Amino acid sequence: MSLKPITVNISEYPEQLCHYLSGAKLYDSSCSPNAKVIFIDRDHGYFLKIGDIGDLDREYQLTRYFYSKGLATRVVHYCFDMGHDYLLTEKIQGDDCTALKYLEQPERLAETLGERLALLHSVDYSDFNTVAECPANHTELYLNRAEINYLHQHYDLSLFPDNWGYASPQEAYAVIEANKHRLQVNTLLHGDYCLPNVILNDWRFSGFIDLDGGGIGDRHVDLFWGAWTLNFNLKTDKYRRRFFDAYGRDIIDEEMLRLVAACEVFG
C-alpha cells in the first residue's frame, strides 16, 4: 500500500467525518482513478473512500454484509454530500497479499489464496437480500456490462493472452453469446479476488477489502481473478495449478474460465 502525506480542508467534508480527520495524520492511498482514498492515522486507522454520488453505495452494502459474516471491516460512516459519496471504514489489521513477506513464499501464498477462496464460496448467503439492499445478481450485471461495452466498442484484449486470450472483441463476444447460459448464480463472490484485496495478519486471514464488484454469481469469476493476480504479481503463471488444487480442482471447469475471460474483455 502506497501512502503519500497530504493535507485537506476539513470544512469541505461532511460534518460527521470531521472528528476523524481533525488533528490526524492523513495519507493519500488511492490506487484507482475512479475513487480517492485517504488513510487516516488515528486510533487503529481508518480509510475514507470518496467517489461520485451513488458510486459507493454498492460497496457500502456489500462491506456491511461481508462484515456480518466476519469477512470484512466495519463500516463507520456512509454518507453523501456536495456531489460525492463518502465511505469510512476501519483499517483491517495486517497487510495485503502484495506485501514482500507473502510474495517471497509463492507456493504458500497460492495455497492460502485457494483455501481462503474455497471458504468464501462455502458461505451461506441465504440472508443476503435481507441484509444488503443492493443488486445481488452478479451474473446478470456481468452479462449486461459485457453487452453494453461490446456495443460501444469498449474492450481490453490483454488479459492472459497466452492462456485465455482472444484475437478480437468479436471472437470474445461470440464465446459469451454461445455460453452465457452456463454462468451460474449460486455462490457469494468477492468479484475482484486479487492479492491487494485480501488482508492477512502474519498469514492469518483478517478480511477482504474493495467489495464493490461482489454479489451472487459464478465461482469461476473469482477463480479467474485469483489465477490472474498470481500471474501478474509473481510474474509467472506456474502457481495457478497450486492455487486451483488448494481450492478444489474437482469443481473447476477450465472452459468456464475461458468464458469469464471473454466477459472480462469488456470490463
Which residues are marked as active site? 192
| Secondary structure (H, E, C), the chain | CCCEEECCCHHHCCHHHHHHHCCCEEEECCCECCEEEEEEECCCCEEEEEEECCCCHHHHHHHHHHHHCCCECCEEEEEEECCEEEEEEECCCCEECCCHHHHCCHHHHHHHHHHHHHHHHCCCCCCHHHHCCCCCEHHHHHHHHHHHHHHCCCCCCCCCCCCCCCCCHHHHHHHHHHHHHHCCCCEEECCCCCHHHEEEECCEEEEECCCCCCEEECHHHHHHHHHHHHHHHHCCCCCHHHHHHHHCHHHCCHHHHHHHHHHHCCC
